[in-house]
Every structure is written in structure tokens, then in C-alpha cells.
Chain A
Amino acid sequence: MEEKFSKIDIITSSSKFEELKEALNVIGVSGMTVSNVLGCGIQKGHKEFYRGLALDINLLPKLKVEIIVCDIPVELVVETAKEVLHTGKMGDGKIFVYDVKNIIRISNGAEGRDALRYNK
């Protein structure tokens, strides 16, 4: 059977991360990688002052959430994320979807779909 894996990157503000994590958990996404990132887009930044130095800071702190799915539909993940993260304002973030060639779990060498499953 043809296995299709997708990687979903969600870049968003940290303020709704807890809700996002819970909502993803509800639809069955239990694994993710999260990093603190800095980025800029159309969202306006802020001014910072260091003695005589005034800076326009437009690199803003965001979170990047990386998820790989196989059995769970990509659309479901995207819809869930949109629902939780949407405020309608600039700075809500972006979602990127990629194809993934293979997945290998290091601890037991499992590949593909098996590498995403956890035997509890």
C-alpha cells in the first residue's frame, strides 16, 4: 500500500500555543517538534531604545510547530490549526505543508507508518 506522509509547519504567536497543542491532541496528533523562532512578515514590529540607539524591531518572536502525519488527514490538521489560531489580525501566522519521503525511528529501526505509531 502506498503510504503518503506530510509535514505541516505552523508558525504562529506563542499566545495560543497551549490551545493549539490541546486541539491537536484531540484529533490524534500526539507528537510534535516546537522551536522558538524569530520572523517578520507584514505584522508591524515595535521600537526599542538602547541609550542613543533607537531601533525598529520587526523580527518578532514566534513559535514554529512541526508535525508529521500519515493516517490523520492533512486537511483536518490545517482546519484545526486555523480554527484555534485565527484572530483575523496580522501576526496570526502561516501554515506550510510538505511531502515527506520517509520516516525512520532510531530506537527500533521502524520505517514509514510504523515509525509514527506508538505501542502503548
Chain B
Amino acid sequence: MNAINTADTSFMIFATVLVMLMTPGLALFYGGMVRRKNVLSTTVHSYTAMVIISLQWVLIGYTLCFGKDFAGFIGNFQFLGLHGVGFLPNADYAGTIPQSVFMLFQLMFAIITPALISGAIAERMKFLAFAVFILVWTTLVYDPIAHWVWGAGGWLRNLGALDFAGGNVVHISSGISALVVALVIGRRKKLKSITPHNLPMTLLGAGILWFGWFGFNAGSALGVNGVALNAFITTNTSAAASALTWCICELIVRKKITSLGLASGIVVGLVAITPGAGFVSPMSSILIGGIGGIICYFSVTVVKIKFGYDDALDAFGCHGIGGIWGGIATGIFASKAINSAGANGLIHGNIKLLGIQLIAIVATVAYSAIMTFIILKVLGKFMSLRVTADEESDGLDVSQHGEEAYGGIDI
């Protein structure tokens, strides 16, 4: 029954372009939070991911993720250079849409994931080092983890771990790796006096992320069905719930609700619901987003300060922590009544799923952290990862790219 369904196919093409738009959205979200002398550098990080991963994916990335399983760990070279990836569906993944559409949809996930890491290393990493890093990282970290979780025969998938739209694959992997890179390259100078230069830009970015996330989560159903629409609803609801609780935390702790807090709360809610979007009910998504907003508020305002790591734009604090909470929450709230292909979670009397989710989280955290550390140490032998103190003080736009975003006098 592997017939192409044109409604599903059109829906997935639409979802794919929605996810694509998230990466420019992320560039705006991050770009507004840095100083004016680093806005181009930060923006270019996201666009670089679009360039490098688009090529990596068609050459080798897709087959490493979704080629025939090798030992539960990685895909083989069956789809190398997109060999055999055409209009016919791949029944292992999506029986009603062309495999080429599935491949493009997955590409957009592979693009945004390394772009997320750029938030932690903003304003100080050498551009060429970042470009090489994301190529190696995607090949050695993202592709294997995507195969474990989503690939037919992947060991976490066989174990029964649930990750609807990429809590492990996208958010935990990038968030944890972001923390490792931030620790390896160290803190920015003048850390205490750094403030965002354009928050309207950040808010627009958050809005575009929210918009694109409907493609990310609803599209992960891979067709037009009840699960897709459930994911659409839970995604929107969780974003709202998290924004609300983040703002309430701000109101209690600082007496004022900030626009950056609002934007951050939205993104955290989207992250937290990602692994469970197609498995939990809309009522559960209120709790998942709401609790996610509170946890991440404290992770970026208290934990980060206490430990002193410079996760510049909170890639770890929002995506790492939000993703881990989302994975746990899926183990608590998942329901077979929502998605018969899923499993029941803790509140439906099944404690086993929570254990499996924890195994998946621990495996993703450990593998991402160790591999990222090794990649950086090896890269560091060949090139310096961090700009010089003078380059940092001049700003990365001028020192890395020879441009200014808002430079010069008006003539």
C-alpha cells in the first residue's frame, strides 16, 4: 500500500519550507541578542549551516541517518549521493510521500541543529573554525544520533524511545554540544557589560521560529492525519504556556516582564513539546510548556550565573535543558489514545517508558558531550578556535568578515 498520497505530499512540502524558514528566524533571534559589532557574524553562523549542511546532506548525511542499518548505530551508504532517493516512497519512514520529500524535510532539521549551537559560542569563535566544526559535528554527532532515534534499526528506536520531532536528535544534542563548546573556548571578555543590541529583531526571530515550528512538529507526522493536527495544537499550546510561566517567574523575581523573557519563554515551550508533540494531549502540553518555562527560566538566570559558563545566547539553557525536560515529559504524559504508534507514559500507568526515555537522554547527552569535546580538541590542533583579544574587541563583523552591519557615518 505504498501509494503516493498527494495531500500528504503537498502537506509535507509545505512543512519542509516552514522548517527551512526557522533557520533564518534563528539568525534573527540570535542576531538581536549580540552587540552591534557581532550581529553579522552571528547571523552568518545560521546561514553557514544552510550552506554546508545542504551539501553534506545530499552527499553523505542522509544515507548515514536513513540508509540501511549497521549495528543499530549508523546507516550504510545505500543512499550515498542520493542514489535511489526519488519519487518512490521509502516504506520504512513514510509510505505515502516520495522519499525525496522525506529527505528534504529531514534536511531542514539537520540544518537548524548545528545553527542552534552557534548561540553558545557567539561573539568569540573564529568563523572558519565554526564552519569546519559544524561539518564534522553533523557527520559524527547529528547523523548517528538521528539514526539511533529515527532510523529503521536504530538502537534507541528499537528500545522504544519516543522522540516525535527531535527532542534528542535536535535539541539535546545541540544544547549539550553548545555547552561543551562554550566551556572549551571560554568566556567572552567584558561579560558583565554585554547587552542585546536589537531586541525587536530577536522578537521577530522568535515569531518566525514559532511559525516554522508548526512544520517541524506537525510535519513530523509525515502526513495529514489526527497525529499531525494534535501536534499542531500541542505545539502552539506549549509555546503559550511556557511564555506565560516564564513571564510569571520574571514578575515574581524581578517585578517586570521583559520582551526578551517573553521571546525566550516562547522558544522554550516549543523546544519542550518537540519530543512529545505527537504523543501527548493538548491538556498535557499546557503542563509540559508551563513547567518547561519555569525550569529554563531558572537554568538561564540562576544556574548559568552560579556556574559561570558563558552560554552566550542560552543554547544550552533553552535547548539542552528544555529538550531534556521534553524527553522526560514525554515519558510521563505520552498516551496511546493520542497516537496508537506511541506508548503510554507514567500517568497512564506505564513506568517503563520513562526509563526508556531516560536511557535515550543519557545516551544522547554522553555521546554529544564526548564527541564534541574530541572534535574540538582535534580541530584545535589544526586551527585556533577562538579569535584574538583584539579581534574580539573590534567585533567579529569587522575582524572575521570585513563588514559592518550599521557602520560608518551617514553621508
Q: Do A and B associate with each other?
A: yes
- Given A18-B193, A38-B408, A59-B409, is A46 in contact with B398 using a C-beta cutoff of 8 Å? yes
> Is A15 engaged at the interface, CB distance under 8 Å to the other chain?
yes
- Contacting B at CB under 8 A, from A23-76, are 38, 46-50, 57, 59, 61
Q: Is the CB of B190 within 8 A of A18?
A: yes
Chain A residues near B192 (CB-CB < 8 A): 18
Tell me the interface secondary structure of chain A in the complex: strand
Chain B residues near A14 (CB-CB < 8 A): 393
> Is B402 engaged at the interface, CB distance under 8 Å to the other chain?
yes
Q: Is the CB of B403 within 8 A of A13?
A: no
One of A13, A18, A48, A50 near B398 (C-beta < 8 A): A48
**Measured between alpha carbons, how far is A13 from B393 in the docked complex, in Å?**
9
Chain A residues near B407 (CB-CB < 8 A): 48, 57
- Contacting A at CB under 8 A, from B359-411, are 393-394, 398-399, 402-404, 407-409
- Contacting A at CB under 8 A, from B181-209, are 190, 192-193
Q: Is the CB of A46 within 8 A of B394?
A: yes
Chain A residues near B394 (CB-CB < 8 A): 46
Q: Is the CB of B393 within 8 A of A15?
A: yes
**Measured between alpha carbons, how far is A49 from B407 in the docked complex, in Å?**
12
- Contacting A at CB under 8 A, from B289-340, are none
Chain B residues near A18 (CB-CB < 8 A): 190, 192-193
Residue of B nearest to A46 (CB): B398
Give how many A residues have a beta carbon under 8 Å from the other chain's beta carbons. Answer: 13
**Count: A-B pairs, CB below 8 Å:** 28
Q: Is the CB of A47 within 8 A of B402?
A: yes
Q: Return A109 CB to nearest CB of chain B, in Å.
A: 35
**Measured between alpha carbons, how far is A18 from B408 in the docked complex, in Å?**
24
Chain A residues near B190 (CB-CB < 8 A): 15, 18
Contact with A along B132-164 (1 / 0, CB 8 A): 000000000000000000000000000000000
- Given A13-B393, A18-B193, A46-B398, is A57 in contact with B408 using a C-beta cutoff of 8 Å? yes
Residue of B nearest to A15 (CB): B393
Residue of A nearest to B392 (CB): A15
Residue of A nearest to B404 (CB): A48
Q: Is the CB of A48 within 8 A of B403?
A: yes
Chain B residues near A49 (CB-CB < 8 A): 402-403
Q: Is the CB of B403 within 8 A of A50?
A: yes
Q: Return A27 CB to nearest CB of chain B, in Å.
A: 21
Residue of B nearest to A17 (CB): B193
Q: Return B397 CB to nearest CB of chain A, in Å.
A: 9
One of A15, A46, A59 near B402 (C-beta < 8 A): A46
- Contacting A at CB under 8 A, from B1-56, are 37
**Measured between alpha carbons, how far is A57 from B192 in the docked complex, in Å?**
30
Chain B residues near A13 (CB-CB < 8 A): 393
Chain B residues near A47 (CB-CB < 8 A): 402
- Contacting A at CB under 8 A, from B269-294, are none
**Measured between alpha carbons, how far is A110 from B178 in the docked complex, in Å?**
56
- Contacting A at CB under 8 A, from B212-264, are none
Q: Return A79 CB to nearest CB of chain B, in Å.
A: 24
Q: Return B146 CB to nearest CB of chain A, in Å.
A: 37
**Measured between alpha carbons, how far is A50 from B37 in the docked complex, in Å?**
16
- Given A18-B193, A57-B408, is A48 in contact with B393 using a C-beta cutoff of 8 Å? no
Q: Is the CB of B409 within 8 A of A38?
A: yes
**Measured between alpha carbons, how far is A42 from B300 in the docked complex, in Å?**
43
Residue of A nearest to B35 (CB): A14
Chain B residues near A46 (CB-CB < 8 A): 394, 398-399, 402
10 tightest Cβ-Cβ pairs between the two chains A and B? A15-B393, A49-B402, A48-B402, A18-B193, A46-B398, A38-B409, A48-B403, A47-B402, A18-B190, A48-B404
Task: Provide a sorted-by-A list of 10 A–B residue pairs whose CB atoms are within 8 angstroms.
Answer: A13-B393, A18-B192, A46-B398, A48-B398, A48-B402, A48-B403, A48-B407, A49-B403, A57-B404, A59-B409
Q: A18-B193, A47-B402 given. 7 additional CB < 8 A pairs?
A: A15-B393, A46-B394, A46-B398, A48-B404, A57-B404, A59-B409, A61-B37
